[in-house]
Amino acid sequence: MADEEDELPETELSYDQKKEIAKWFLLNAPAGEINYVAKDLKAVLRDEEVYNEAAMEAFPVYNKSHMICLEMPNRAGDVIVSSYSEITENEYLDPRTAQVAIVDHVQQICTKVRPADDEELASSYIEEFRCALDAEIQRYVSESYPKGVFAVNCVKGKDADGPGMDFEFVVIITARKLSPQNFCNGSWRSVWNIDFQDESQVLDIKGKLQVTFTTHLSLSVGAHYFEEGNVELDAKKEFQDSTIFQSADDCAIAIANIIRHHETEYLAALEVAYSKLPDNTFKDLRRKLPVTRTLFPWQNTLQFSLTREVEKELGLGK
């Protein structure tokens, strides 16, 4: 009788609660996996209205935060969906082709393209610097990222018509390697803010790198590995540097070299960290004495695998 009284009554979630939960799952989907999450959400919710509203709110935020790249119709080029290229919620500027892509966020496609208006583009003075930097970053990305895409956007002072005014560029580099059939996805996103300060003749450069990796499982690096398990890496790093305000071509070369240096150095550090995962990181994550009261035999880890251990614990082994 006491047990029955202690049981909490089941309560039906409200419309808003369901929507917020659905949005949370969509927004936290690993790189390249939001559509898989959306499919499962539809099946769980069994409420088209809740799902549609959650998707309409979550997909634009997800697409911009992951800086997805979409192909324009008629092979007109590619556009990176980001807050730096956003004109309206569904319109994104590609400064390289001077076009604006109209995007369907939920379908993750570019539906059509229009020429950019004059007020949406930078002045010829700013464009000289932007084009020079675009060419140098293109050379770097083609050498370093097999499937990398990038954009150079002017986010401040685009109307400057000559020396004497400050302006700011943002360089976006994004690369993804999606292999869901092999239960492994990963992404790289780096954002570099370059502040051109005319008075002090200095360029302040700030970078944010994010790497994510998922295995079924920001600079930003991310990875997700998920074969009969679920492991996700989300690494972030910030950098700050500076160089001298020079001609457009010289500035572009200096900026590209700084970006190349910091990203290469960070990737090398990640490789060192990966090499230490079995011996250091995973040991620190595991209990010294697990609930089985048996010490884990770290001296002979090759005989163990996640799959075999799970099957053994569940009594599924042959």
pLDDT, tens only, 204-220: 999 988 777 554 333 45
pLDDT tens-digit series, residues 84-141: 999 999 999 999 999 999 999 999 999 999 999 999 999 999 999 999 999 999 999 9
Is 254 inside any structural domain? yes
The larger pLDDT score, comparing residue 124 to residue 226, is at 124
pLDDT tens-digit series, residues 136-188: 999 999 999 888 999 999 999 999 988 888 999 999 999 988 777 777 778 88
Report strand pairing: 78-80 vs 109-115.
unpaired
Which residues contact residue 182 at a Cβ distance below 8 angstroms, ignoring those fewer than 6 apart? 227
Quote the number of domains for the chain: 3
**Average pLDDT of span 1-6:** 52
Range of 96-100, 195-199, 297-301 with top mean pLDDT: 96-100
Residues 144 and 59 grouped into a single domain: no
Residues 114 and 228 grouped into a single domain: no
Residues 237 and 217 grouped into a single domain: yes
What is the SS3 assignment for 69-109? Answer: EEECHHHCCEEECCCCCEEECCEEEECCCCEEEEEECCCCE
Q: 85, 102, 120 — which closes off a domain?
A: 120
Q: Quote the pLDDT of residue 10.
A: 65
Residue 267 has pLDDT above 50, yes or no: yes
113 forms beta bridges with: 101
Report strand pairing: 202-215 vs 220-225.
parallel
**CA–CA gap between residue 175 and residue 49 (Å, rounded):** 34
Lowest mean pLDDT among 4-8, 66-70, 161-165: 4-8
Q: Quote the pLDDT of residue 82.
A: 95
Q: Quote the pLDDT of residue 217.
A: 30
Is 307 inside any structural domain? no
Residues 42 and 163 grouped into a single domain: no
Biggest distance spanned by C-alpha atoms of the chain: 83
Residues 132 and 152 grouped into a single domain: yes
State in Å, rounded, how far the first CA of the chain is from the last one.
Answer: 42
Which residues contact residue 64 at a Cβ distance below 8 angstroms, ignoring those fewer than 6 apart? 81, 82, 83, 86
Residues 130 and 270 grouped into a single domain: yes
Report the CATH number at residue 42: 3.30.1140.60
pTM of the model: 0.79
**Residue 228 in tokens:** 């009969």
Residues 73 and 46 grouped into a single domain: no
Q: Quote the pLDDT of residue 49.
A: 95
**CA–CA gap between residue 234 and residue 53 (Å, rounded):** 28
Residues 149 and 44 grouped into a single domain: no
- Binning the chain into helix, strand and coil, the percentages to the nearest 5 are 40, 30, 30
**Average pLDDT of span 194-203:** 90
Burial code (b: 16+ CB inside 10 Å, e: under 16) for 198-212 equals: eeeeebebebbbbbb
Domain range enclosing 218: 124-274
Q: Are residues 130 and 95 in contact, defined by beta-carbon separation less than 8 angstroms?
A: yes
**Residue 199 in tokens:** 């008075």
Residues 105 and 129 grouped into a single domain: no
The larger pLDDT score, comparing residue 221 to residue 55, is at 55
Report the CATH number at residue 264: 3.90.1150.210
pLDDT band at 1 (very low <50, low <70, confident <90, very high): very low
Is 291 inside any structural domain? no
